[in-house]
Structure 1
Amino acid sequence: MHPRPPPFGNISRHSGHPEGDAAIRQTDSDAALARYSAVQKGYFTDPFIKNLLPRGSQYQPPRPPLINVGTYVRSEGIDALVDQWLDLASAEGKQCQIVSLGAGSDTRFWRISTGPRKDVLASYVEIDFPDNTMKKAMAIRKSRELSNILGAPDNIQLSGGGTGLHAPKYHLLPIDIRKPPAEALGRALHPEGRPPCLSSDLPTLLLFECVLVYMKPTESDAVFQWFVDYFSSSNASTALGGIVYEMFGLNDPFGRVMLNNLKARNVDLPGAEPYHNFASLPQRFLRHSFNASHALTLREIRKSYISPQELERISHLEMLDEVEELDLVLEHYAITWGVKLYPKTGQTYKGDWSSWGLHPAEAEEFDD
């Protein structure tokens, strides 16, 4: 069996080699089309993804069931972690910030902003290459559905020659996160003549969805450490969380086929080497002094962390003949999460941040 190129999610626009950037940026279109396919088949709802699709996408055939199921599992896992983070911030009586690095065509800001946790969100920052942020800024401006959720037209401003966009709660920033963070992140998040995009006093969640595996380990470590240091200046007890979704364990026979398929597309994975097995995944957080970190493969999430009723529902959506290949691919993707607390003397936490994480599903009970 030959695994397809990474099919389950937003793939970063950050390659270790400039000549490979175009090939990697193109995979964001693949990710958007995969999500749209899963939505069309009824795996989950996302009324906003249609506004961010490449031109002509309505003529694209649906993705195979293997890709639809994988996209669904990845989405369920990350959505659950994000929702819990917002709930914990609410328990603290605080609003929350989210920074999505390599955001691409992700619609999470709009989904949160039209859902029950919208008032918990203080700031949502999306970061990507200028080419991608320019396309997204244009799509937002063209879509009344997307732009209306950002706020009044007078409060929405373009920046950087149309590569950036700012609204009261939403910031789209053109940044190459391979560059030194003090230069790239520091200046963008604290621009001259504009209020900061990020506060060090609010609980903040970092999202890395298929991003760090395309960067050199020294570059991704620098990004992590910059955020760790940034929140150390907080004047209040706060929390920094991170979610990493990406492939790992590519040194076995199946993983090597995945690597070769990617190389054929001009895509390298310089960040994969340190994470050769499942046990190594939490180290990304722990070596930056996070208090705790845990990981689950997508295979395990599908098996034990999605309710039997929900698995029964999606099993009727389309016939899946590639169960063995699905399990092999899901075994090479993982969601890893970590939390770092910044306690201040005389201040206590109201939320149980140690409980943040995915929890095994139980069958729902129904009254007779």
Structure 2
Amino acid sequence: MFPPGHAQPQDPDAPIRATDNDAALARLSAVKKNYLQDAFVKDLVPRAHLQPSRPPLINIGTYVRSHAIDLLVGEWLQMAKASGTKVQIVSLGAGSDTRFWRIETGPAKDELAKYIEVDFTEVTTKKAMAIRKSKQMNSLLGDPEKVQVAGGGTGLRSPKYHLIPADLRMPPTVSLGPVLTAGESTEGGPLLSPSLPTLIIFECVLAYMSPEASARLLRWFVDYSSTGPEEGGILGCLVYEMFNLHDAFGRVMVSNLQARYVSIPGAEPFTTLESLSKRLTDEGFSAARALTLREIRRAYIEQSELERISKLEFLDETEELDLVLEHYAISWGLYLQNPGSSSSWGHWGLKQQRL
């Protein structure tokens, strides 16, 4: 978006915010080509009907990423149903994600107690406006009398869905924490309850933060979950991001981002899957695991799905696809305050489909 030779934008965060536009266009393309089902993304992309499709390599990569995250979130909701409790989901750096609306129109909507999205003020302002303009998205927020535009148009509040502007790079005790722990006028308790199983999601977020800032953020959620009742204190974390950027291909990725004035200090320390898992356990998670998108595509997606998407478009760049997928990973971690009373949650994670 900002090719070499152009002056660096006055707002240093503008290039980072622009990456969400790339992700939205990639998802829209994957939906148009029938890789994914999403009836809402078009409402968040300006002139969606005029946007060109992306190449097959991008469509397939978007599919693998999205399908794997859908599997992890779906299992979290299924475990809630099995345990007879509701859950909370907090999407940090949510951008143009449509997951809340997809859950609300799916079979697991009754398992969701609250869905909270956080992003830059500029992003939440645009998203709040787009949601209010979309009849189908707005209708799923619940009782119209309980839906409020917040923060002078920078956020939204509804019975289930909350859109909050915040800079995640700031210490959470200053920026995010006070908002999540504040009482709600309609329910009396905090916006984010420490007594309900909570899943936090980071999709291409931590890479744009310093390792110190992301560590503070992860630790805050673990510490807050530990304040719940003894039988509570269940926290899941799901992270998708680029990694292993020190090889030749990774250096090209970094160079391409730098040409757009995008820096990724949060990705540089993580060169192995073990380092991604260790980041979570270092901040208090009981257990963690990480997989590359290449490995997920090879062994963690159902054979029937692979056969279906293989018929959508012809791909003659399988080696390049594998190379790209090898530089993105999904990691997940679990914190259990009381492992004995929450043992069933310990099975949460991607399940291998093929050897």
Cα displacement (A) at 1:362: 4.8
Cα displacement (A) at 1:273: 2.0
What is the distance in 2 between the residues matched to 1:135 and 1:33?
Answer: 16
In structure 1, the partner of 2:283 is 288
What is the distance in 2 between the residues matched to 1:302 and 1:147?
Answer: 35
* Residue among 285, 294, 300 paired with 1:305: 300
In structure 1, the partner of 2:150 is 159
What is the distance in 2 between the residues matched to 1:77 and 1:236?
Answer: 31
* Residue among 59, 72, 96 paired with 1:68: 59
What is the distance in 1 between the residues matched to 2:80 and 2:37?
Answer: 25
In structure 2, the partner of 1:83 is 74
What is the distance in 1 between the residues matched to 2:131 and 2:292?
Answer: 33
- Matching of residue 264 in structure 1 with residue 259 in structure 2: yes
Higher relative contact order (CA 8 A, sep 6+): 1
- Matching of residue 197 in structure 1 with residue 191 in structure 2: yes
What code does the residue aligned with 1:148 have?
A: S
- Matching of residue 355 in structure 1 with residue 350 in structure 2: no
* Residue among 314, 325, 343 paired with 1:330: 325
SS at match of 2:341: coil
What is the distance in 2 between the residues matched to 1:193 and 1:286?
Answer: 32
Cα displacement (A) at 1:304: 0.8
In structure 2, the partner of 1:9 is none
What code does the residue aligned with 1:286 have?
A: T
What is the distance in 2 between the residues matched to 1:184 and 1:207?
Answer: 18
What is the distance in 1 between the residues matched to 2:116 and 2:57?
Answer: 31
Cα displacement (A) at 1:27: 1.4
What code does the residue aligned with 1:229 have?
A: D
For residues 205-253 of structure 1, the C-alpha deviation after alignment (integer angstroms, 9 at most, x for no partner) is: 0000000010001100010111111111101423100000000000000
Counterparts of 1:98-109 in structure 2, within 5 Å, are: 98-109=89-100
What is the distance in 2 between the residues matched to 1:76 and 1:193?
Answer: 34
In structure 1, the partner of 2:40 is 48
What is the distance in 1 between the residues matched to 2:61 and 2:20?
Answer: 16
SS at match of 1:182: coil
What is the distance in 1 between the residues matched to 2:335 and 2:183?
Answer: 29
Cα displacement (A) at 1:57: 2.9
What code does the residue aligned with 1:267 have?
A: V
Normalising by the residue count of structure 1, what TM-score does the alignment of the two structures yield? 0.90
What code does the residue aligned with 2:158 have?
A: A
Cα displacement (A) at 1:342: 1.1
- Matching of residue 251 in structure 1 with residue 242 in structure 2: no
Structure 1: 5+ residue stretches without partners: 6-16, 364-368
In structure 2, the partner of 1:22 is 14
Of residues 330-339 and 302-311 in structure 1, the stretch that sits farther from structure 2 once superposed is: 302-311
In structure 2, the partner of 1:32 is 24
- 1:237–1:341 CA contact under 8 A, matched in 2: no
Aligned residues: 345
- 1:80–1:358 CA contact under 8 A, matched in 2: yes
In structure 1, the partner of 2:88 is 97
Of residues 328-337 and 80-89 in structure 1, the stretch that sits farther from structure 2 once superposed is: 80-89
What is the distance in 1 between the residues matched to 2:327 and 2:296?
Answer: 12
Of residues 326-335 and 284-293 in structure 1, the stretch that sits farther from structure 2 once superposed is: 284-293
CA distance 1:339–1:247, change in 2 (3 Å): same
What is the distance in 2 between the residues matched to 1:27 and 1:207?
Answer: 17
Normalising by the residue count of structure 2, what TM-score does the alignment of the two structures yield? 0.93
For residues 312-364 of structure 1, the C-alpha deviation after alignment (integer angstroms, 9 at most, x for no partner) is: 111110111211111101000000000000119xx823x6122111111159x
- Matching of residue 224 in structure 1 with residue 224 in structure 2: no
- Matching of residue 147 in structure 1 with residue 141 in structure 2: no
What code does the residue aligned with 2:201 have?
A: L
Of residues 185-194 and 143-152 in structure 1, the stretch that sits farther from structure 2 once superposed is: 185-194
- 1:134–1:162 CA contact under 8 A, matched in 2: yes
What code does the residue aligned with 1:217 have?
A: P
What is the distance in 1 between the residues matched to 2:134 and 2:49?
Answer: 16
SS at match of 1:94: coil
Please provide the CA RMSD for this pair: 1.9
